[in-house]
Amino acid sequence: SYELTQPPSVSVSPGQTVTITCSGDKLGDKYASWYQQKSGQSPVLVIYQDDKRPSGIPERFSGSNSGNTATLTISGTQAMDEADYYCQTWDRSSYVFGTGTKVTVL
């Protein structure tokens, strides 16, 4: 079965840039999406189709996808961005989530 691997955790200082990677076999040939999940809340879509932002998502969230790696970048990170982040893709009628990355804003 298809797998997506993310680093378990990353930390960032307020105002700095943080990058979260998501690795999967030939992931660049598929669409990648990203979800933010704050403690005790439901997931929220922040990036879809590799690099598109839904309405209402701040411009500081951006995405890319090439080769075997999709990337979520948060520029000018704010305290409110502290959350778990999951990548997601689709492979042969199966939907796959990444292992998740906890972003801590120090």
Binding site for other proteins (CB under 8 A): 1, 31, 33, 35, 37, 42-45, 48-49, 52, 54, 84, 86, 88-90, 93-100
Q: How far apart are CA 92 and CA 73, in angstroms?
A: 27
Q: Are 63 and 47 in contact (CB under 8 A)?
A: yes
Question: Are 24 and 3 in contact, with CB atoms under 8 Å apart?
Answer: yes
22: left (phi over 0), alpha (psi -120 to 50) or beta: beta
CB of 35 to other proteins, least distance (A): 7
Q: How far is the CB of 27 from other proteins (least distance, A)?
A: 13
Smaller CB distance to other proteins: residue 17 or 104?
A: 104
Q: How far is the CB of 33 from other proteins (least distance, A)?
A: 4
